[in-house]
Amino acid sequence: MLAPLLPFREHLPPQERAVLDSSQLLTPVIRGHASSMKCRIGLTPGVMTLISRLSCRRAGTRFNARGIDDEGNVANFVETETIVATDEWVFSHAQIRGSVPLFWEQSGLQLPGSSKITITRSPEATQPAFNLHFRALLEKYGAVHVVNLLSQQAKHGEANLSHEYNAHLEHLPSEEHRQVYITNFDFHAVTGGDFRLANNIRSLLMIPAEEFVYYLEDAVNGSVVLSQAGVFRTNCLDCLDRTNVIQGIIDQIAIDSFLGHRDQVVGEEFWVVHGGLWADTGDALSKIYAGTGALKSSFTRTGWRFQQSC
């Protein structure tokens, strides 16, 4: 809504621009979640912030909004940025989540394992919107590494959706195909209900995480030291609980890499803060997308614990 007015603002004389700004007419609004907590990096005090921005396109609640539209927008698309800042530097790492970018829907009782997944459009009719989606991601973020957490077991309804996802990635135009990668990680098969085992994904993502690096700014003079070169796009079926677990782990990998490059060590309290922020953002996004009570979750260095809450 603000987009047409921002160029108008930029061309105003400084005094008139100040008057417009003071009117608070142009107030940007983010739907999602943001929170900050104090932390320590070694002996240095800092602040850790987590910001999750939920897209206004293809909006809707769980079971009502799934998959992609003809413009390449997907349901429950969220950009999450972690910022760790001290007086000397600012670290930032961004990643995204979003529904499987195919035309699909779910029907039936809304109970685990009882709903039916239906792909509603042929591969040939889907590919143009699929290509649009990834073209937009590549333009904004650089290379994209898909982390697909759907079940790969043939008897599971998610398997066909996962198979079609991989097939459409193979049919991306050559220029886009060279910049899009995928890791299939059957979350439930690997963890078996013990979410600490989700850390097995670390070895699969360490190399791309090192290649994508992170954003780093010198806080003293404001100069950019390093820029993030790519993004992880994570999905499960609804992009809530499984996705939040893995995104928290990916975030840990990025922070560990940053700390390693600086030969800095953090204590358990640092990761408690990190886990608390990820638990809060997971609950907030669940409430928005599911439209019901969220799964209250807490993150530990080794995994996630879940407690059902109404």
- State pLDDT tens for residues 182-203: 999 999 999 998 999 999 999 9
Contact (CB, 8 A) for 217 and 85: no
- Residues 243, 135: Cα–Cα separation, whole Å: 22
Residue 57: both structure tokens together: 């396109």
- Check if the beta carbon of residue 112 is closer than 8 Å to that of residue 242: no
The alpha carbons of the chain give a radius of gyration, in whole angstroms, of: 20
Q: What angle do CA 249, 255, 257 make, to 5 degrees?
A: 105
pLDDT digits 0-9 by tens, 138-158: 999 999 999 999 998 876 779
- In eight-state DSSP terms, residue 114 is T
Q: Which of 127, 121, 150, 124 has its CA nearest to residue 72?
A: 127
Packing angle, helices 241-261 and 202-212, rounded to 10: 60
Distance CA 264, CA 54 (A): 33
| 60-63: Cβ within 8 A, 24+ apart | 61/289, 61/290, 61/291, 62/238, 62/240, 62/289, 62/290, 62/291, 63/106, 63/110, 63/115
Report the interhelical angle of 268-290 vs 241-261 (nearest 10°). Answer: 150
CA distance 276 to 233: 22
Mind listing the pLDDT tens digit of every residue in the chain (310 residues)? 888 899 999 999 999 999 999 998 888 888 899 999 999 998 999 999 999 999 988 876 666 778 999 999 999 999 999 999 999 999 999 999 999 999 999 876 556 555 689 999 999 999 999 999 999 999 999 999 999 999 988 767 799 999 999 999 999 999 999 999 999 999 999 999 899 999 999 999 999 999 999 999 999 999 999 999 999 999 999 999 999 999 999 999 999 999 999 999 999 999 999 999 999 999 999 988 877 544 444 444 434 433 332 2
300 CB contacts (<8 Å, ≥6 apart)? 196, 271, 275
Task: Please work out, in degrees rounded to the nearest 5, the angle formed at the alpha carbon of residue 250 by the alpha carbons of 255 and 190.
Answer: 140
Phi-psi region of 237 (alpha: psi -120 to 50; beta: other; left: phi over 0): alpha
Core vs surface per residue 217-237: b (16+ CB within 10 A) or e: beeeeeeeeeebebbbbbbbb
Decide if 90 contacts 151 (C-beta within 8 A).
no
DSSP 157-214: THHHHHHHHHHHHHTS-HHHHTTEEEEE--HHHHHTT-GGGGGGGHHHHHHHHHHH--
Q: Supply φ then ψ for residue 283, to 5 degrees.
A: -65, -40
